[in-house]
Amino acid sequence: MDIGIGLPGHAPWTEGTALVEWARRAEARGFSTLSVSDRLAWTTPEPLITLAAAAGATSRIRLLTSVLLAPLRANHALFAKAVTTLDQLAGPGRLHLGLAPGLREDDFQISEVDYGTRGRRLDRLLDRLASVMSGNDLVGPRPATPGGPALLFGGTSRATLRRIASRGTGWIAGDATVQDVRDFAPQLRQAWKEAGRTGSPRIIASVMYALGPNAEAAVADAIGPYYAFAGDEYAQYGISLAYTRPEQITDAIAAFEEVGCDELIFMGNDPDPAQVDLLAGAVGL
């Protein structure tokens, strides 16, 4: 199972250069993937711009949006151009797009994008993206990756299963538990088989972490406000799921690997780039 790391974009970071340093250290320590999350009504950095900076600071590590709120990108041609440009900057095979319809209504309200049609908007975006990636479109440049970046989808709906089986390479489970993967993976593999796909869908889980003497405070400061919209009980639940000790990290790796995950991504909650090295030490990189 691959071990990736996620930028602390939802945490109280103040300097973008720190996020670039995260990228440099993540590659140097041998993590498989660098991921970035997406929110509009929050201080989370824009994913494609952030990964463009990471692409320029690295040369090997995979770059993943986990997950990008695709329906907010209402100009589908412009979005496709941004993707192909980033794919060119990163080089063949490095960029992987994790996409989802989005859950929070406030992200759509401040965008003036209709929340109720977000699923249909995502499907139309995927149609245009496929057209651009195939070269049968006026939008350029062509992607560096033949056929375009790999597509993965978040969520557990029937529409998510359809998108993965028809267009994707796999599934991303955000803020995941082992039970989440255990429950959804059989449905995913069945949908994949029924669609006549060969091989197996890639399964990626992401979890929250912070390490060091201030780990619990960092998790509370980052996750508590981020999930406050859903009430204190949910926020406290999110905090309780985060991994704050090396032995928890080790146990999580074993448990997620046992249920068939192909990659486990640890999302940072403390903006200090030293967190990359602490995690690398905990996982043996």
Instruction: Please give the residue range of the domain that contains residue 212.
Output: 2-283
Output 160-163 pairs: Cβ under 8 A, ≥24 positions apart: 160/100, 161/187, 161/188, 161/191, 162/191, 163/122, 163/123, 163/126
Q: Number of structural domains, the chain?
A: 1
Tens of pLDDT, residue by residue, the chain (285 residues): 999 999 999 999 999 999 999 999 999 999 999 999 999 999 999 999 999 999 999 999 999 999 999 999 999 999 999 999 999 999 999 999 999 999 999 999 999 999 999 999 999 999 999 999 999 899 999 999 999 999 999 999 999 999 999 999 999 999 999 999 999 999 999 999 999 999 999 999 999 999 999 999 999 999 999 998 888 998 999 999 999 999 999 999 999 999 999 999 999 999 999 999 999 999 999
The DSSP secondary structure of 5-27, one letter per residue, reads: EE--TTS----HHHHHHHHHHHH
Burial (CB count <10 Å: 0-12, 13-18, 19+), residue 248: middle
The domain that holds 59 is classified in CATH as 3.20.20.30
Distance CA 139, CA 25 (A): 35
